[in-house]
Homo-oligomer: A and B are copies of this chain.
């Protein structure tokens, strides 16, 4: 409680704006720039429990770790590319957290029965996620097939048309 040895002993970028990211903890604006999210969004994700609260300076400034950035980038992918809602993403993230905890506890446990029970749990989580993924995947693959077929047809049509044009206006 009394010695905040690692929360404040750095510069974390100059006030004016020209200093390169000197250390491994980043302030909110830098994170925003790197991830493409806004500062508001970063605070919001923390607020709704989507991102673990980062460490702070003594003054209360957020200091994000590299790990936080990884998480944010993952969140962004899940949101933009995959179209999950933040609630769904939180589910996924919490599942991963639980997995981590189980993994740690696993290492301190030697009883095979207990281990087996834990394995059941994490496997269930994984299967659940796998199902969500597979559904989406199937839908997207079908769309991809259809589009691919269409593009192929277009390719053939294009070839036909070029022949016609060449035949019709052969000389110059």
> Which residues of A pack against B, CB within 8 Å?
77, 81-84, 112-113, 115-116, 119, 122-123, 126-127, 129-130, 133-137, 139-141, 143-144, 147-148, 150-151, 154, 157-158, 161-162, 164-165, 168
Most chain-B Cβ atoms within 10 A of its Cβ — which of A133, A144, A148?
Answer: A133
Count of identical protomers in the assembly: 2
Given contacts A81-B135, A119-B157, 20 further A-B contacts (CB under 8 A): A77-B139, A82-B136, A82-B140, A83-B83, A83-B84, A112-B161, A113-B165, A115-B161, A116-B158, A116-B161, A116-B162, A119-B158, A119-B161, A126-B147, A126-B150, A127-B151, A129-B147, A133-B143, A137-B140, A140-B140
Complex interface: chain B residues within 8 A of A133 (CB): 140, 143-144, 147
| Bound Cα distance A151, B123 (Å) | 7
Provide the bound-state CA to CA distance between A20 and B134, in Å.
36
